[in-house]
Amino acid sequence: MYLTKSIDNKSVYLDKYTINFWSVLTAYFGFLVSTASPMIAAVFLILSIFLSCFGNIFSNKISPLFLLILIIIVFKISYYFLLLDNLKPSLEFFSREGRFILSLALLAAFSMIRLGVKDVIKLAKACRILFLCWLPIYVVNFLGVNLLEASHHQRGSVIISGFVWQFLISIYSDKTRFSSDFLIMSIICAACVLISGSRVSIIGFLLISFFPLFKQYFIRASLAAIISLALILVFFEGRIEVGERKFDLSVIESIPAAMAYGATANSLSHASDFSDSGIATTDFNVTARFAMFARSFVRFTSSPLLGIGVGRFDDFGSFCSSAYTLVCIHDQGFSNYAGNTAHNVFLHILVEEGLLGFFLLCLLLRMILRTCQNSLKASGHDMFIHPVVGIWFYMAISGFFNHILASPLFIISLFLPLILISQISYEPKNRV
C-alpha cells in the first residue's frame, strides 16, 4: 500500500513499512516517557495504535497470530462488559479501566505489523538510541535527583528492552554475540538492571544472556548456578540488599503461613492488604504474593470453567454460588482493573476467565514461540533461536510475578520484540 502526496511538486511515498516503523518507534518512545509521565505516554501509545491501524487497514494478508489475539480480545472485552450491571461511563471509569483496554489495543496493533529485515535493523538501532538517551536520566535518578516516578519493575523492564534491541541488531546484522557494541551494551544493562532492584528483570537478563549455554550444558550449568547461588548466600549470610530491594532467604519460613492466610482471608483483594495479617516476614513483597497466589486458587475453584468475569478479581461479590455455575451472578457494579491483580498472569486469568481463558493464553504464548522459531529458521538465523527462547522464557517468568497483559509496560517490553521477530516479512525467495 502506498500513500502519495505532493511536496514542492515532488512525490513522497509513504509505504506501510514506513508507517509501521514509526508506529513501533512512537510506542517505544511512549514507553520510555511513561517512567516520568503516564498521561503523556498514553498520548504516544494511542498515536502508535492509530499509525499501526492506518498502515495495515488495507493489508490483504492477516496473520494467524493477529487472528488469535483478536479472538482473545473479543473474548475479554465481551466478558468484561457482559457482567457489568451498573455501567456508568465517566472520566474516573476510563482512567481506571483505560490501562486494560489500551494494553489489548497495543497487542492487536503490534500483531498487524510486518517489517522487512532491513527495517527491523533500522528500528532496533533507532530504539537503542532512544534507550541510550533515557539512560542518563535513570542514572541521575538513581543518584538522588527524582526525575522518574517509575516502579522497580518498570525501570527493570525498560533496561531489559534496551538489551533486547541490541540482540535484534546482532541477529539481523549478522554480527556475533561478542561484538564490541554488544559487549558494551551488555555491561551497561547488567549494571543498570542490578541497581534497578527488579528481581524479575535480573533473572530475565541472566536468562537472555546465558540460556544458550544453559541449554547446551544443562547439568553442568545447573550445578554451577546452584553452587554459585549457595556461595553468594553463605558469603552474604542469606541477605543481600540492592538499593531499596532486599533478597533474604529467611523469607521462606513465612511463606506457608502466608499461603494459609491467603486461602482463608475474605478481605484480601490486593497484595497491600496482607499487612493486616500480622505475619512477620523479612520480605513483604514475596510473602504477600504467595498469599495472593493461595487466594487466587481458592477463587478459581469457585468457577473453574469460565471464571468469575474479566475485571472482577477484587470484587467481593464475585464468588459463584457453585463451582458448576457457568456464568457468575454479581451483586456489585463497577469492575476494577486499577492494579488489583493476582500478581501472576496465569492465576489471574484462571480466576477471571477460567480454564477457557487460560487455554487461550497458553495458545498465544505457544504461537509466539513457534512463529519466532520458524521466522529465524526461514531467515537462516538458527543460531539465535536459543537467545530468543531465553527472551520468551523471561516473558513467561515475568508472568508468574505480574499480570503481563494488564499494562502497556509489559506489552511493549515483553511482547513487542518477539512479535516483530515472528512477523518479519521476507523476500518471496526466502519465504517458507
User: Residue 131: what pLDDT?
Assistant: 92
325 lies in a domain?
no
More confident residue, 223 or 375: 375
Q: Are 258 and 290 in contact (CB under 8 A)?
A: yes
pLDDT digits (tens, 9 = 90+) for 322-337: 555 555 555 444 444 5
In a domain, 199, yes or no: yes
Q: Label residue 73 exposed, middle or buried (CB < 10 Å: 0-12, 13-18, 19+).
A: middle
Taking only the tens place, the pLDDT of each residue in 380-406 is 777 677 778 888 888 888 888 887 887
**Bigger pLDDT: 392 or 85?**
392
Report CA-CA distances (Å) from 243 to 92, 193, 194, 197.
35, 11, 9, 6
Is 140 within a domain?
Answer: yes
Evaluate whether residue 238 is within a structural domain: yes
Cβ within 8 Å of residue 425, ≥6 positions away: 17, 114, 115, 116
Among 401, 424, 306, 316, smallest CA distance to 24 is for 424
In terms of phi and psi (left: phi > 0; alpha: psi -120 to 50; beta: otherwise), the region of 311 is left
Distance CA 393, CA 207 (A): 7
- Backbone φ and ψ of 102, nearest 5°: -65, -40
Report pLDDT for 364.
92
Cell numbers for 137? 536520566
Look at 94-108, 178-192, 316-330, 401-415 and tell me which has the smallest mean pLDDT.
316-330
CA separation for the pair 289, 153 (Å, rounded)? 15
Average pLDDT, the chain: 76
Residues 112-143 pLDDT 10s: 888 888 888 899 999 999 999 998 888 888 88
Q: What is the pLDDT of residues 31-47, one digit of tens each?
A: 888 888 888 888 898 89
How far apart are alpha carbons 17 and 24 in whole angstroms? 11
Instruction: Determine how many CB atoms are found less than 10 A away from the CB of residue 87.
Output: 10
Positive or negative: CA dihedral 160, 163, 165, 171: negative
In a domain, 350, yes or no: no
Distance between CA 353 and CA 303 in Å, rounded?
A: 9
Residue 347 pLDDT exceeds 70: yes
Q: Determine the average pLDDT of the residues in 259-284.
A: 71
| Stronger pLDDT, 25 or 217, i.e. the higher one | 25
**Domain for residue 289, yes or no?**
no
**Is position 282 within any domain?**
no
Range of the domain at 147: 113-243
Q: Is the pLDDT of residue 249 over 90?
A: no
Question: What pTM was estimated for this model as a whole?
Answer: 0.82
Residues 6+ apart with CB under 8 A from 125: 165, 169
Distance linking the first and last C-alpha atoms of the chain: 23
pLDDT, one tens digit per residue, over 89-112 is 555 555 556 677 788 888 888 888
Task: Tell me the range of 41-45, 216-220, 425-429 where mean pLDDT is highest.
Answer: 41-45
Number of domains comprising the chain: 1
* Cα angle: 197, vertex 201, 205; to 5 degrees: 120
Say how far apart CA 356 and CA 121 lie, in whole Å: 38
Judged by phi (left if over 0) then psi (alpha if -120 to 50, else beta), residue 238 lies in left
Q: Is 79 helix (H, G, I), strand (E, B) or coil?
A: helix
**Residue 326 counted as domain residue:** no
